[in-house]
């Protein structure tokens, strides 16, 4: 199994998929050209809204992958999305709204075909929501539930949950007059852990990714990853750290 699970597609004031293009190029090295792309998380892309957003999303990603000499075939453009998955050399899932993504994956009966292909060795790339769905469930997404999926169950390629775009508690404003009054990201994840005490959450900060080969994981990027477990102080992994599926 080979996975590249990216926290975010774009850093501030950078081109789309800019920061992670070298990482994607490295990951794709030696693979064939046929990429099956799932654009289902793209509900509003480039001024186009669902379902026209799927075409806009595919075009945006294809422009980037032209740099790698890779052709993208979006599952939404086929009458038989499962066949697209079965014939793919690479499976790629873009970011956006995780609830919409999971709803469409279940509606099109893609969960099991994708999981089978990836477990058999087809490389998988996901960013943001696309990384979230590599987990057992979508329960650690940051997104608004704009639709109700058939199930919260996802691909279960890794045995832990990912929280993409993990951010630390908000600082006070300089003038100390305005403060964030709601829950921090860690508080919300602690709530998840309180009712899912056996699970572990990996908080992927911007500019980081998990490179997975079988059960060997390497943290790539420039920032630390936070590790959250019920009843324990948060831990961390540094860029370049190598660890297993238990994140230890």
143 is catalytic: yes
151 is catalytic: no
Q: Across-strand partners of 227?
A: 202, 235
Query: Of the listed 44, 78, 106, 165, which one is catalytic?
Result: 165
Q: Tell me which DSSP letter residue 184 carries.
A: -
Q: Across-strand partners of 210?
A: 5, 219
- 58 burial via Cβ count (<10 Å: 0-12, 13-18, 19+): buried
Query: Of the listed 74, 143, 151, 241, which one is catalytic?
Result: 143
Four-residue CA torsion sign, 162, 118, 220, 229: positive
165 is catalytic: yes
The region, left, alpha or beta by phi > 0 then psi within -120 to 50, assigned to residue 232 is beta
Which has the closest alpha carbon to 186: 120, 125, 143, 234? 234
Query: Of the listed 7, 128, 176, 241, which one is catalytic?
Result: 128
Q: Across-strand partners of 221?
A: 208
What are the residue numbers of the active site? 128, 143, 165
């Amino acid at each position: 199994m080979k996975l590249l699970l990216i926290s975010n597609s774009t850093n501030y004031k950078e081109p789309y998929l800019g920061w992670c293009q070298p990482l994607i190029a490295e990951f794709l090295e030696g693979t064939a050209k046929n990429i099956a792309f799932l654009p289902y998380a793209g509900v509003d892309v480039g001024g186009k809204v669902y379902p026209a957003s799927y075409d806009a999303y595919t075009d945006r990603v294809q422009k980037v992958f032209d740099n790698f000499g890779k052709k993208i075939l979006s599952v939404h453009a086929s009458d038989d999305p499962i066949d697209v998955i079965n014939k793919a050399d690479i499976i790629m899932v873009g970011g956006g709204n995780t609830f919409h993504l999971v709803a469409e994956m279940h509606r099109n009966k893609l969960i099991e075909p994708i999981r089978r292909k990836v477990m058999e060795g087809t490389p998988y790339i996901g960013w943001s929501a696309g990384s979230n769905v590599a987990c057992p469930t979508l329960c650690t997404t940051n997104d608004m539930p704009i639709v109700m999926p058939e199930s919260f169950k996802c691909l279960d390629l890794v045995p832990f949950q990912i929280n993409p775009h993990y951010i630390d508690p908000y600082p006070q404003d300089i003038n100390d007059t305005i403060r964030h009054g709601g829950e921090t990201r860690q508080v919300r994840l602690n709530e998840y852990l309180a009712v899912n005490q056996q699970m572990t959450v990996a908080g992927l900060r911007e500019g980081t990714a998990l490179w997975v080969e079988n059960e060997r994981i390497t943290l790539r990027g420039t920032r630390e990853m936070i590790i959250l477990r019920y009843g324990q102080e948060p831990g961390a992994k540094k860029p370049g750290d190598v660890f297993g599926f238990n994140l230890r």
